Structures are given as structure tokens and as C-alpha cells.
Amino acid sequence: MTIKAIRTAKALATTALASLLAFAQPAEACTRFVYLGPNDNIITARSMDWKSDVATNLWVLPRGIKRNGQAGPNSFEWTAKYGSVVATGYDVSTTDGVNEAGLNANLLWLVESEYPKFDQSKPGLTIAAWAQYVLDSFETVEEAVAALEKEPFTIVTDNVPGENRLTTLHLSISDRTGDSAIVEYIGGKQVIHHDRKYQVMTNSPTFDQQLALNSYWKQIGGTVMLPGTNRASDRFARASFYVNAIPKEEDANRALASVFSVIRNVSVPYGLNTPEEPNISSTRWRTVVDHKRKLYFFESALTPNTFWVDLNKIDFSETTGKVMKLDLGDNQDHTYSGDATGDFKQAEPFKFLGLQM
């Protein structure tokens, strides 16, 4: 590399760093990306970063369940068309999951989120069930986007359980074709970014600004320098480079190994604490969706093994399918390994957190 090129790279890095620091957020953080492999080998990975136990368990939810938006008398209603396997937050919210058609949905923190005022002009939908509505209702990202663009409901949010701060999230969707969409609410307006090229999503700033900041690092090149902190924009840059730098494997298990290595690379060390940022989040768990084989992998930071759920082995039928739960324990410290589909136990459905009216 020439001296001029090195100087240019350093200048770009300095400019990028200044921009990143301007958007520094000590709040909760997560990362999501989609691997686009050969032969429809599509894999979506995400990390869940939170400063305390998010009380996650895994659930099997069959077709035919009638849902209520939990927003009072004028609540949005629907019936689950597809069965799904989901990871909950506090067992009151669907934070991540995949349905039997191979559609994946993920909720990540976005402090800039500002939702429309719930003025009863449209039915309300609790933010706790936002991802579940998508999993229940659609086979593809294109279908989901077409429905969401019509804005059939108003998202209604409330405080994080046990905390005095508003829940502010954005939604990512991916499917077995590799299509992606990012749904945000900015200034009270819904904004949808829909394109197969939108492989990566993290947290602040908003998605359009994430793309702009990432352009700096594309000019530098990932083999020269990559940002290494746990800030959202740094994780975005690293995930964007690595997800397209890893081999496009024909072998599905090797592709999974590469994807796991990337999501671990953008994770935050467990228990990380610094005087400057006492509330920094640690990666609590990771999920990886093999869309083609319909496998849902789960990896806790506190257990030695990765395990998976095989959706092909689950009865999602409306008539014979059962709601089932896999108890992950406090801080997700229960150990499972290999195919854990048979370890789920029948349970009463969890209730989505909504407005107290």
C-alpha cells in the first residue's frame, strides 16, 4: 500500500470516527445480518445485547391462535396464519423468531424511534406483538412490506418492564430468498427500507445514517482497517464487511460456521463494564436462522453449547398443534445441545404486554 493511500485511509478513518462518536449511545445494542449464499443458502444471525437478564425463553406457537393488539377497546386483531418458533423478552414480547414459511423477524433497540400518537383513528398494536404479527401473517418480506405500507394499525409502546424508560425499537425482516426490510418510526412516521442489499442492521443512528457512515469504511477497505469498538456504527461496519468476505459455501454446515464466527465477532464481551459507560450492554444470546433447512439455532453467553430447533419436526397445525415452551433459565443458563426440539414442554401461552386500561 502506498504512503498516500495510507494517509487517505487514516484521514477517512478519523472523519468516520468523529461521526461515530457524535452518535455514541450507551444504551442497549444488538446486531443482525443476512448471509446470502449459493443454492438459496440464506442465513440470518442476530445478537441480543442487554445490560441485565432479558428473561428469554423459546416458544412454539401453532397456527390459528387469535391475537389482540393489547391496546384497549380499539385493539388490532388477527389470527395466526403461520406457526412460529420465537424468543421472548421477559415472556411478554416476541423479540426474535422464525415462522414455518422461513420468514424471520427481529426487534432491535433504536433510541431515535418516535411512534405516532394513538388517537384511536386506527386500531392499536402493542409493540410487544409487532414482530409476532409479522411472523403470524406473512410468508415473504414482500408480502409483509405490502401490508405494513398500508399502516393498518398504530404501534403503541410503553415502558420497558421494570424500568422507567420508553421501549423504542425497530424491526428487521428477512426471508428464504434473502430479501430484507428494515421498519422504523422516525418523527412519528413509518419508514421502510426494503431491498435485498440491506443485509445489516444495528442500532443508532437511524438506518439511512448507518448506511452513510458505513460508506467511509467501504472506501478504506476491511483488509486495511475496521472499527473495533462495541458502538452500533462500528458493529455495522464490521458485520457489513465480514458477511460478504466470508466464503460463499456450498456446504450448509460450513456456511453456518462462518456466520457464527461473524455474529460472535460483533458481540459484546459478557459482563463488560467501564467507568465511563457503567450501563453498557453485554451480549446475552445469539440466534441464527437457516432459512433453507428451517433450523433455528440458539447460543447463550452462559452455556457451553449451541443448540437448534428443527421446525420441520414441529406440529404447527391449528387442530393438533400445541403451545410449547423451552425453559432457558435465569440469564439463559440452562444447557441444551444438538437438536433440542424434543425438549419443549406444553405450556399456557404467554401474554403480550400492552396498555393498562
Q: In what order do the strands lie in the sheet with 345-346?
A: 189-194, 180-186, 169-174, 104-109, 93-99, 84-89, 58-61, 324-326, 345-346
pTM: 0.89
The pLDDT assigned to 274 comes to 65
- Cα 264 from Cα 229, distance rounded (Å): 14
Degrees to nearest 5, angle at CA 166 with 160 and 168: 95
* One-character DSSP codes across 44-99: EEEEEEESS-----EEEE-TT-EEE--SSSSB-EEE-SS-EEEEEETTTEEEEEEE
Least confident stretch, 136-140, 155-159, 215-219: 215-219
- Across the range 55-63, mean pLDDT stands at 98
pLDDT-based confidence at 23, cuts 50/70/90? very low
Considering 30, 58, 86, 263, which one is annotated as catalytic?
30
Task: State the sign of the Cα–Cα–Cα–Cα dihedral 38, 195, 30, 205.
Answer: positive
347 among known catalytic residues: no
Q: Identify the residue with better confidence: 234 or 134.
A: 134
- Across the range 58-64, mean pLDDT stands at 98
Q: Identify the residue with better confidence: 179 or 4.
A: 179
The pLDDT assigned to 5 comes to 42
pLDDT tens digits for 347-356? 999 999 998 5
Provide the percentage of residues in the chain whose pLDDT is more than 90: 73
Provide the percentage of residues in the chain whose pLDDT is more than 70: 87
Q: Which residues of 202-241 are buried (b: 16+ CB within 10 A; e: fewer)?
A: bbbbbbeebeebbebbeebeeeebbbeebbbbbbbbbbbb
